[in-house]
Amino acid sequence: MWSFFWELVVRAWERFVLAVGTTSLGFIVGLVVLPLVLHLVKVWRGKAAMKPGDFVDTAIGVLAVYGVIFLSMLIFGVPREIREQARAVRPPTYPAPFPRFHWDDKTPPKPSGPPEPKLSWSILNRPQPANTKHPRTYVNFWLDRSLDHPKFRVLCDRPCIPVEVGPMPGSVGPVYFFKDVKIPKAAIFSFMTPNPFPAGMSEFLGVESPDDEPVHIRNVKPFEFTEKQKQEMKRQSEGW
């Protein structure tokens, strides 16, 4: 019972401190209006007269109350409401900055669009042609969706040379073989037709070893030329 009333007293005191001791309006009311109102009440009750001396006594009493308020704030800290509001404030969060765009990048990022086709592949056992000088390794591959301007890169465990592709129904254009001297373990095949390369069609690619030891294929994936590779591809195709 007493704890309940004590809690009411404490909260009323804290609200008074919060309203009068921490706001500009409360400060003005406390120093100017409150002493005047209290003095008028005392005059009405016959406890004081309308004299400057009596008004000064009332003002001194109000200042004494203010002194108790600020002393309470210094001893017990900020009132409970202010502490709760301070705890409720969360630090600001800022969005992650956009990555810097490098104008000198050789290959700009691809625009967002449909997902890239998934390429599946497996090693293919084929007889070696009679006129080959070095052993060839074959790989069979297919796509789960069509691919525009099809180009594929075969990655070998050692330097290898693109030399052969399988027959394709509906293909009337050439297939260009490309070697990048900076990537000797990669053999690149560029298909002119069919374009797009159809989904689900199985095709094989053949690479040749530069010596008598056959190469092993490590990976097959679609490929995009850089501008420098396009120029080199044009130079190589003109020499054929």
* pLDDT score, position 235: 74
**152 close to 222: Cβ distance less than 8 angstroms:** yes
Average pLDDT over every residue of 178-200: 89
DSSP H or E run through 138: strand 136-143
- The domain ranges of the chain are 2-87, 119-238
Residues 6+ positions from 161 with CB-CB distance below 8 Å: 177, 179, 187, 207, 208, 209, 210
Residue 22 pLDDT exceeds 60: no
Bigger pLDDT: 77 vs 64: 64
d(CA 67, CA 141): 89
Residue 223 pLDDT exceeds 60: yes
d(CA 120, CA 62): 88
d(CA 219, CA 223): 12
Residue 17 pLDDT exceeds 90: no
Residue 107 pLDDT exceeds 60: no
CA separation, residue 147 to residues 63, 107, 175, 179, 204 (Å): 86, 19, 15, 22, 16
* pLDDT score, position 192: 86
d(CA 118, CA 152): 12
The pLDDT confidence band at residue 81, using thresholds 50, 70 and 90, is: low
Residue 238 pLDDT exceeds 70: no
The pTM assigned to this predicted structure is 0.50
* pLDDT score, position 124: 94
* pLDDT score, position 99: 61
Place of tokens 């919060």: 18
Instruction: List the single range of 145-154, 171-180, 202-211 with lowest mean pLDDT.
Output: 171-180
* pLDDT score, position 120: 95
The pLDDT confidence band at residue 106, using thresholds 50, 70 and 90, is: low
Place of tokens 């017990």: 76
d(CA 127, CA 140): 14
For 203-234, the DSSP string reads EEEEEE-SSSSPP-EEEEEE----HHHHHHHH
Query: Sheet holding 186-191: strands in order across?
Result: 175-178, 186-191, 151-156, 217-222
Residue 108 pLDDT exceeds 60: no
The pLDDT confidence band at residue 214, using thresholds 50, 70 and 90, is: very high
What's the token pair of residue 186? 């990669």
The one-letter code for the residue type at 142 is W
Residue 211 pLDDT exceeds 70: yes
* pLDDT score, position 168: 77
Residue 206 pLDDT exceeds 90: yes
Instruction: List the single range of 2-6, 92-96, 208-212 with lowest mean pLDDT.
Output: 92-96
Give domain 119-238's CATH architecture.
Answer: Sandwich (2.60)
